[in-house]
Amino acid sequence: MNIKLRRTIRKYTQQPVSDELLNRLTEEAMRTQTMGNLQLYSVVVTRSAEKKELLSPAHFGQPMVKEAPVVLTICADFRRTTDWCLQRQANPGYDNFLSFINAATDALLFTQTFCCLAEEEGLGICFLGTTVYQPQAIIAALELPDLVFPVATLTVGWPAETPELSDRLPLEAVLHQETYSAFTPERIDACYAKREALPVNRHFVEINGKETLAQIFTDIRYTRKDNESMSEGLLAALVHQKFLRPDSLPGAVPNVVERRPDVLECDVVRFQNKKEKWVAFVGLLDGVPYEIFTGLQDDEEGIAIPKSVQKGFVIKHYDRDGQKRYDFQFVNKRGYKTTIEGLSERFNPKYWDYAKLISGVLRYQMPIDHVIKLITSLQLENDTINSWTTGVARVLKKYLPDSQQMPEEEEETN
């Protein structure tokens, strides 16, 4: 087929599209390039009137959905790859936005290859961008599991129309040499003049009472209001399918727990700083640092805990007179609890005060890399406290996401 003559087909004959043909075209399109050859897509075939009925509203009732013999929904799919990893002792990390983009790229490349092959075969195709407008309805209709997300729909059938060829912008509208060259007003005029002069477009502008063709797009076809509200639905659906975390939604506020729970799990992190042995108790809420207490390990008044202890609890305790203190509790190898009372009294009060400040910052969920930057930028009054801040920063590095891990300067003694 001459690509210069290809066009979207929205009306189809009654002639069926056989499974045999569909399978062959799909298999051929699977030769398309994909990330790591992982083939991060899947295709759901809809032939039944019942399912088409369910899909139709998601596509704003566009008639092709019910009229085409076949509707294909192409999905970004990290489910299969994730299941494969889990079954093969491999630890998948694909429940994130980057992985969605990668899978969506694979899915769209497959889609386009399929379109070319199908059109070559004489089939008529219409690409439905409405797939990402109300994805939740499609997810429900097709029972898509987590990590599977619809990105494209094709209505497929034998053409029952030969519509006019649509126009294209000139080459200069798309092609830039070496660097991106800005669009001056004259260049914009040159790019759009032919399109704006087409009788069909002039007529469209006139009957809609608009001044320009661009206004047809901004005010009628793709409005800010629709784009913003459908973006919200899209993001919510990405959260639902586990490609995004709920706190990445716009307007989401970090889930700050202001009142410290009476008992917090904690990590015990030992580290060496300028030849001194230090220990940090990092209180964790949902696995995220919520507070930190640190001090010298071999201080006579300090903390002595068995080397094997790496986890425990920091417990808020009120004396009879209402005085608050923090205790550390761990469970030994035989399952017995040991409590070290009064963490606060065992460490130098100055460190304690600075630790309180840092804990405040952690509690309000400043990202860990920013906390580390803040701590390392502190210029405190003496060398010992300055080296203490280095120690604290070193401890917190352990909690950076993998993607932000920094190289170690000194070996930990843990």
Ligand X SMILES: Cc1cc2nc3c(=O)[nH]c(=O)nc-3n(C[C@H](O)[C@H](O)[C@H](O)COP(=O)(O)O)c2cc1C
**Which residues sit at the interface with ligand X, rule CB under 6 A?**
7-8, 10, 62, 126-130, 166
Q: Least distance from C-beta 98 to ligand X, angstroms? A: 21
Q: Least distance from C-beta 126 to ligand X, angstroms? A: 5
Q: Least distance from C-beta 313 to ligand X, angstroms? A: 54
- Taking CB atoms, the residue at the shortest distance from ligand X is 129
In contact, 302 and 369? CB cutoff 8 Å: no
Could you tell me the CA-to-CA distances from 289 to 255, 292, 342, 371, 375 in Å, in that order? 13, 8, 21, 11, 15
Q: Least distance from C-beta 152 to ligand X, angstroms? A: 8
Helix count and strand count (H, E) for the chain = 14, 10
Which residues are paired to 159 by β-bridges? 12
Q: Least distance from C-beta 230 to ligand X, angstroms? A: 13
Q: Which CB, 5 or 253, lies closer to ligand X? A: 5
Q: Which CB, 112 or 387, lies closer to ligand X? A: 112
CA–CA dist 198, 303 (Å, integer)? 82
Q: Which CB, 128 or 238, lies closer to ligand X? A: 128
Strand duo 70-77 + 124-128: pairing: unpaired
Could you tell me the CA-to-CA distances from 137 to 75, 132, 142 in Å, in that order? 14, 10, 9
* Residue among 250, 252, 284, 288 nearest 265 (CA): 284
Q: Least distance from C-beta 158 to ligand X, angstroms? A: 17
Q: Which CB, 7 or 195, lies closer to ligand X? A: 7
Q: Least distance from C-beta 12 to ligand X, angstroms? A: 13
Contacts of 345 by beta carbon, 8 Å cutoff, 6+ apart: 325
Q: Which CB, 23 or 229, lies closer to ligand X? A: 229
Q: Which CB, 129 or 246, lies closer to ligand X? A: 129
Q: Which CB, 86 or 169, lies closer to ligand X? A: 169
Contacts 24+ apart (CB under 8 A), 313-316: 313/263, 313/264, 313/265, 313/266, 314/263, 314/264, 314/266, 314/281, 314/283, 314/343, 315/262, 315/263, 315/264, 315/339, 316/260, 316/261, 316/262, 316/263
